[in-house]
Each structure stands twice: as C-alpha cells, then as structure tokens.
Structure 1
C-alpha cells in the first residue's frame, strides 16, 4: 500500500475514532474509562475534552518511550488528531445529546461500532499502535502479566482517577467495558481483518523513508 494512501487511511480512521467517542459522550449514560479520565482532567483544568485527551496522550507517549516501547507515526497522530477532531465535533454540536436512556444506549452502541470501524482503518494503515495501546503493550512486556489484565489495571486506574476528578460514571461505563471488545471482534470478522497480519512501521523507519 502506497504511503499516501496509508496516511489518508490513518487520518480517516482517527476522524472516525473521534466521531465514535463523541457519540458515546453525547449518549450521556456514562463515559468509557479513558473518557472519564479526560473529562475529569478537562473539568479540573478548565480545558476542552479533546485538549485533555491530547495532554494525557503526550504524558503517555513520553512514559511509553521511557519504558522502551517503539512508537510510530500513528502513535503521534493518534495523540494529536483524535483530540483536535473531538474538539471540533463537539464545538460544532452536530451530535445532539440523547433525550432518553434508550436513545443513549443506541447512541453508545453506535459509537462503539464506529470506534471499531475506526480501529480497522487506523490499525490497518500500519503506522503503529495508539498511545494507550502502546502503554498496555509496554506494561505487558515488563510485567509478563496477560494483556487483558494489563489493560484492566490501566483502565481501572484511570477510571477511578477520572471519577474522583468528576468524570461521568454510569451504566454506559459498564456497557462500554463489556461491549467494546465484542464490537471490535464482530467488525474485524465481518471485514475479514486480522490484526496479526499488519506489519507496523516505526517512527524511525518512517523518518528513514524520507532520507532516502
């Protein structure tokens, strides 16, 4: 796949990811763990939700690099663009707030499937994992604990921190935790997408590409 096409696929995937997050937020029945944390930070610092996501991403990427994990162009763009896209989508007010719990559940599930589709595009571009996934992988490598447990530890920690800071915890939080994996697995199966077949390009390799 040509570099430009891969880059377009990456950026489109990140836009879809922000759109999916916006849907889950406007569902207003409880945020996903990381979004609870971002909302808590945004509330404390008086900044936009997307900006809080970018700030958290910068810290996570720095920590990931210190832990010895390689990052890619996708890691950097994921850190920046999802937050910028999310700010724009929420500022434009194109997604209304859910008017009832059933509507909220529908919006949340739709958002999770949009995020799953977004993952297909951005992971398939081969530019590396996002900051939060990179941290999960680094923790798995250093501690040897199963990947599911490392994810649970990280998300449990940020959920509690975000809740303490005032992030919205509710039924949607539990639903997100249960349904996200299913939505991703179903979407990947329907699209016949195997993540293990994707060969990711590190940031160093991308830079080297332009030095030739």
Structure 2
C-alpha cells in the first residue's frame, strides 16, 4: 500500500482497488472545483489563470464558460499525444464535470455589490480550489488535462515544475487578457496560494491504494512519487 501519489496508467488505476471510495472523492472534488471557479469569476476581482483564457474565449464565442472549459479540456488532451501521456478515468471526468459544475454554480451565484463580500468570494474560491485539487488528485485516478500537460512536459523535457507551470500560466493569462479575461488581485492571490495549499492538503487526502506493483520494474507504467512542490 502507498499514501504517496503513484504514476499509474489507466488500467492500473482501476486495478488498484477501493474504487467506490476513490470515485466518490473524485466526483466531490471535481464538483467543488467548478464551484471554486464560479466564486472567483463572480468576485469580479480576478480569475484563475486558465479561467482568464476561458472567460476571454467565452466572450467571443456563443458558449458558456463551462462549455469553453470542456472544449478547452479536450483540446489540451490532444497535446498529451506527443508527450505520450495516457489519460485516466479521472482525467476524462475532469474534462467534462468541472465545466458543468462551474456553469451550474454560476447560475446560482451573483456578483456581490459589497466589496467585502466580493473579497470573501475570492478567498473562498482559492481555499475551496486548494481542497478540490487535493481531493481529485488524491483519488489517484489520473490528473486533469491541464495538470497532465504540465507534468507530461516536465517529464519529457526535464525542466522544473516551477518553470513549466509558470510558462504555461503566463501564456494562458496573457492570451486570455488579450481576449477580455479578467486579471486582478484574485489571480495573483491564487497564483501565490494554490501550490502551498495543495501541498498542505494533498497528503491528508491521498487515498491508500489496495493493490500496486511491489516493484516499479514489474510494471513500467508505475513510479511511486511525491506530488510536485
């Protein structure tokens, strides 16, 4: 058994057991992720880096934010092909459910007029996103499309996680801002906080796997590893 994140292929993820518990945590995490996105968007004080792009695209397309998230997720998955990255069940569910959850939450939430309430939306969105990220990663059913793009790029190039993540997020923020996405204090707070938050919560929410290979060389798709810092 292991409580560290394991790099498992799609088949090994399912064979690792405890699927009911892991699927439940995954689905709750993905739902909360969409709610956290909606809180940040409704705050009007800045969006998550990728949501700056999503929001900018939605302004120019006849699509909701959630629909853009879903479409972008599958486009990002195409970039996994040259990286030889395999999606898991959690990857596919992430690509679909986060956008649907965000749209549902946006229907229920309105932008507060009170500046204090808007700031509260930002803080709640960042904290909830850290929890949601740790939940879906801790289910060990595959990273989301954007996380997998980052880790795949790191694995193929040998560059640092910090450099790759920063490069990707600066690129999407710039593109989204040019399209009309909202960059603000919330964007900066998220960028500074999400890494430490996820690293704090992930060990507590990473589920033990019932069955993993005893030796990494017995199953080339498995490499025991801690999450990127």
Partner deviation per Cα, 1:21-62 (whole Å, 9 max, x = no partner): 111111110111100000011111121000000111001111
CA contact (8 A) 1:113 1:184 kept: no
Q: Does 1:40 align with 2:56?
A: yes
Q: Does 1:49 align with 2:56?
A: no
Counterpart position of 1:168: 182
Larger mean Cα displacement after TM superposition, 71-80 or 112-121:
112-121
Counterpart position of 1:102: 116
Q: Aligned to 1:132, which of 146, 157, 164? A: 146
SS at match of 1:19: helix
> In structure 2, do the counterparts of structure 1 residues 194 and 78 end up closer, same or farther at CA, with 3 Å as the change threshold?
closer
> In structure 2, do the counterparts of structure 1 residues 167 and 199 end up closer, same or farther at CA, with 3 Å as the change threshold?
farther
Q: Aligned to 1:59, which of 75, 80, 92? A: 75
CA contact (8 A) 2:140 2:206 kept: no
Counterpart position of 1:154: 168
Name the count of aligned residue pairs.
197
Counterpart position of 2:192: 178
Aligned-pair distance for 1:125?
1.4
Counterpart position of 1:144: 158
Counterpart position of 2:33: 17
CA distance in 2, matches of 1:6, 1:194: 9
> In structure 2, do the counterparts of structure 1 residues 161 and 123 end up closer, same or farther at CA, with 3 Å as the change threshold?
same
CA distance in 2, matches of 1:193, 1:200: 18
CA distance in 2, matches of 1:101, 1:200: 50
Counterpart position of 2:10: none
Aligned-pair distance for 1:81?
0.5
The runs of 4+ residues in structure 1 deviating greater than 4 Å are: 197-201
CA distance in 1, matches of 2:44, 2:128: 17
Q: Tell me the C-alpha RMSD between the 2 structures.
A: 2.3
CA distance in 1, matches of 2:126, 2:74: 24
Q: TM-score scaled to structure 2, two decimals?
A: 0.79
Q: Which runs of 5+ in 2 are unaligned?
A: 1-16, 213-220, 222-229
CA contact (8 A) 2:18 2:209 kept: no
